[in-house]
Amino acid sequence: MKVAMGQFAVAREWQKNAQTCIQLMQQAQQAAATLLVLPEAVLATDIHDPGLAVRAAQPLDGPFLTQLLTASQQSAMTTILSIYVPDGPQRAINAQVALRGGEIIARYDKLHLYDAFAMQESQRVTAGEVVPPLVEIGGMKIGMMTCYDIRFPELARRLALDGADVLVLPSAWVRGPLKEMHWETLVTARALENTCYLIAVGECGPRNIGGSLIVDPLGVAVARAAEGPALVFAELDAERIKSARQMLPVLANRRFSRPELGA
């Protein structure tokens, strides 16, 4: 399966971000990608105005997503991204959605909010409560995670035990001491310990590291972006997953009970 990572810096104006997303969708479609993953919270942001993302939140039938759904109508490609949707006065939900054929085929509300490194996402954002069902794309089963979720191995393991072949991780990974190392180490670990592909797409720009990365089921980085805007492609191989799980049967060998996260 051919997949694409669309890395960009999210702007303050939702109209500009919608245009960027649509351009990346068109480019990925032209390259015959089956799946495009975009960053986290792509609707609007401003590092000098931390409350903007929540104030700019739109419902799933709002103009931002409506434009993207229209752009997806003539293609079988699936696009996965995250936006803030309203959740009462001055609050929002960080909703990850999968778009295909003009429809939202899956939604996941971020479980783990970024209350770390002097930031408090929970001040304005309501946490999700449910682990989403897997999405079938290109003959593979896809599990959905968002950014800070990568630091919680039980979610990735739950998705793998549910049958995920691939984990996707739209992100906005904030810069800081050793944060690039954290990013690559965690993405690699979640892929390797679950013998899954992991597609981790980061926002770039002045606050975030970019560094989008695809790691295969044996912990090998098969594609990556640097710190600037990029559209990067890779091939995911179902036989690689099968082979990895035969050589390294960690899912079969585990001794602990099945995680009940979100049950």
Q: Find the catalytic residue in 21, 110, 121, 203.
A: 110
Q: Find the catalytic residue in 40, 196, 203, 204.
A: 40
Q: Find the catalytic residue in 21, 121, 147, 196.
A: 147
Q: Which band of pLDDT confidence, cut at 50, 70 and 90, is reported for residue 213?
A: very high
Average pLDDT, the chain: 96
Q: Which band of pLDDT confidence, cut at 50, 70 and 90, is reported for residue 29?
A: very high
> Is residue 263's pLDDT more than 50?
no
- 40 catalytic, yes or no? yes
Predicted confidence (pLDDT) per residue in 83-112, tens digit: 999 999 999 999 999 999 999 999 999 999
Predicted confidence (pLDDT) per residue in 142-162, tens digit: 999 999 999 999 999 999 999
CB contact set of 135 (below 8 Å; sequence gap of 6+):
78, 98, 105, 106, 141, 142, 144
DSSP H helices, 84-152, are: none
Structural domain boundaries in the chain = 2-253
Helix axes 14-30, 63-72, angle to 10 degrees: 10
Give the rounded percent of residues in the chain with a pLDDT score beyond 90.
94
Superfamily of domain 2-253: Carbon-nitrogen hydrolase (3.60.110.10)
- 21 catalytic, yes or no? no
- 141 catalytic, yes or no? no
